[in-house]
Chains A and B, each alone.
Chain A
């Protein structure tokens, strides 16, 4: 009678075997390499998010005066300081070169595409047609024209390639209009920047790219700071100077570090007015 004897395979031998054979344990297959990120220029935000990912779509959303544009300008300043070429698709022609320059943006390296100022012939025809039928529809279409132009412009810029940062500013577009941009468009844009060194940034009032975004940041305004030259008594308005705003940034979704969305995390930073020394 013979006895079957099971000899346990030593753990160290198993690891050595896997190393030799180049076998990756199944538990590690889900770990993606960390994408390259670019600094936002705001240490608090960098610490929270790890930066804006290259080859991915980043959404910065929030209401008016929540610091979205300040964050965008800081990003552009960082990118242009690295001598990268950037593009800004400005849907509502709201970009202010003076405050961008004050934020450190090298304007010569930023291609500014101002949408909505020229209505294309085809759009005009649509507009006229709607005018005859319903005035309300026409108003909506007029608002859509710059968005359509911006999406076409963005498509061209992403296809052209070579930019370090491409931003689309939908900050003044009502959320109901921005939401009409089909999800497939956002997927297409994400695919266009994938495996490139481009970072795509979308600024808007409400998040609309949803699952296509690699990083979703929500901005919020928390307080206004001001200086006054009169210490006591009734302060006249001209004795007060708007100093800046305290802003909060919340990370709602990030695929930079993990596959699963992160839980919400928040930080705050100060944004000061350009005339403050």
Chain B
């Protein structure tokens, strides 16, 4: 039963360089610790060649021509998740061996991906697409595959039964054993796995115990153990900590573009899409600015009250909800840019975290005879741009509320792609219906009443004698509510009562029909709209 192992050399450096492709060809050293004790935790090969050693202080390392980066656990977690995604794209049985190593069971995958050599090449290419330079090895058992991936660069295929032959040339430190055992083996002049495999079993157990026997079996490539499959990660999150605060939208968009590309590549590897993107920005706010920032962040928004609650101290959260599952990094970037332009952060950004809600994509087959509809991605972009012009709350689909309150409706998110029930022609009124054009808010009017009927009206530019009157019709509602509305406007959740009239007035271009009403709670008159 063959296994493939994927190993990322210099994982700490690779995790850092994943978001900065320019670092891949340079000498890089990763630092850890808090000042003043900051030391080199990892280096790549190029950095080691120029003389950087592990444990050097930051000051010492700075004397060499290397790029120094602070270690970021969030970036390492994202790189590890990407590594798992890469493996999961090929096989459902994946073992999460270490942060830099995963093993996958490739039995039965030949029909899908071809022979092991091709599969290994594909794995390496896939890892490269996720910005990870990986070593891939295929062997008959997991441990042989792991040792080969750690020891040989590139792609290695070990034929069944030839593990000892292939692994023999590897140095003893690929076994990652305790330093004291390594010291003992060094004293015995056991420098590679071939030498270790040649030692007699009994003598080794007598001197090193069961650990010695395990090491010898590893060196021979004969360890048989079951694979421990890992649960696939459900969080798709990418993080970047910035060395310097970013104050402009353009460089921030550049960073977001990187994160989105990685996120989309990971989702694509798992054949997933997203319908919700969450962006968290950590802002660079000094202690004194805290109150200012808090007040500016906690501007209430009607639809995203829950999101606002999450905004604590120096963090700003954005949430992008999409009507359909999508997977387009460029579209997401544009939408985020529009959102950031609408609600810019109040301070420079020092850390960016982007999280995607994974959902299954919903492929749709367009019907040949169905009417054309806007493409979901383009419509989403258009809506975001429209929101920037007229306001987020001013676009959408109107939904009439189940109440008799006049002009009671709410704006809903415009999503024509959700399966809507088709209308039948018989539902329509056979004749065109008289439409009302509303004044929002209603125009306050001064009305002269004679014999209980309005005879003259003055409301801004509307003024003159009333030619015909129809009404009144009395209506009221929400009388169980104690709250009385303000004189100039109806408020939801407050009681209302009114006498409504339809009046005709002679204007410059003929007769104009208006709907007027008298609010019984206040006695004030209003012009509600014109019939047109």
Residue numbers of A with Cβ under 8 A of B are 41-42, 63-74, 77, 80-85, 93-104, 106-115, 117-118, 120, 149, 152-153, 156-157, 159-164, 171-172, 197, 220-221, 224, 226, 237-238, 240-242, 244-245, 269-274
Contacts and interface: CB of A to CB of B under 8 A. Distances in A.
Interface of B: 370-375, 378-379, 381-383, 385-386, 389-391, 394-400, 407, 409, 411-412, 414, 416, 420, 422-425, 427-429, 431-440, 453, 468-473, 501-502, 504, 507-513, 529-532
A93 B381 CA distance: 23
Contacts of A245: 434, 513, 531
Nearest to B453: A237
B20 to A, nearest CB: 35
Contacts of A221: 510-511
Contacts of A100: 398, 435
Contacts of B395: 111-114
Contacts of B504: 224
A95 B513 CA distance: 16
Given A64-B530, A71-B432, A111-B383, 19 more contacts: A66-B510, A69-B435, A73-B435, A83-B420, A85-B373, A95-B398, A96-B407, A99-B436, A100-B398, A103-B433, A104-B428, A156-B389, A157-B386, A162-B375, A224-B468, A240-B469, A272-B429, A272-B432, A273-B531
A160 B512 CA distance: 37
A111 B504 CA distance: 32
A61 to B, nearest CB: 11
Nearest to B473: A238
B511 A224 contact: yes
A86 B425 CA distance: 18
A260 to B, nearest CB: 29
Contacts of B416: 85, 108-109, 111
Contacts of A117: 390-391, 394
Contacts of B502: 242
B397 A70 contact: no
Contacts of A103: 429, 432-433, 435
A64 B512 contact: yes
Contacts of A241: 470
A111 B513 CA distance: 28
B397 A110 contact: yes
Contacts of A153: 386, 389-390
Contact of B432 (A70, A97, A108, A120): A70
B435 A161 contact: no
Contact of A64 (B370, B472, B509): B509
A109 B440 CA distance: 23
A156 B334 CA distance: 15
Contacts of A118: 390-391, 394
A110 B396 CA distance: 8
A100 B501 CA distance: 20
A45 to B, nearest CB: 9
A67 B398 contact: no
A161 B374 contact: yes
A197 B503 CA distance: 41
Given A64-B507, A83-B371, A152 B381 contact: no
B423 A112 contact: no
B476 to A, nearest CB: 16
A235 to B, nearest CB: 11
A176 to B, nearest CB: 14
In the A-B complex, the 7 residue pairs with the closest CB atoms: A162-B374, A63-B509, A118-B391, A69-B435, A160-B382, A97-B398, A69-B532
12 contacts: A64-B509, A66-B509, A80-B423, A93-B438, A97-B398, A98-B436, A109-B420, A111-B396, A162-B373, A162-B375, A271-B433, A272-B429
B500 to A, nearest CB: 11
A81 B428 contact: yes
Contacts of A102: 429, 433
Contacts of A111: 383, 395-397, 414, 416
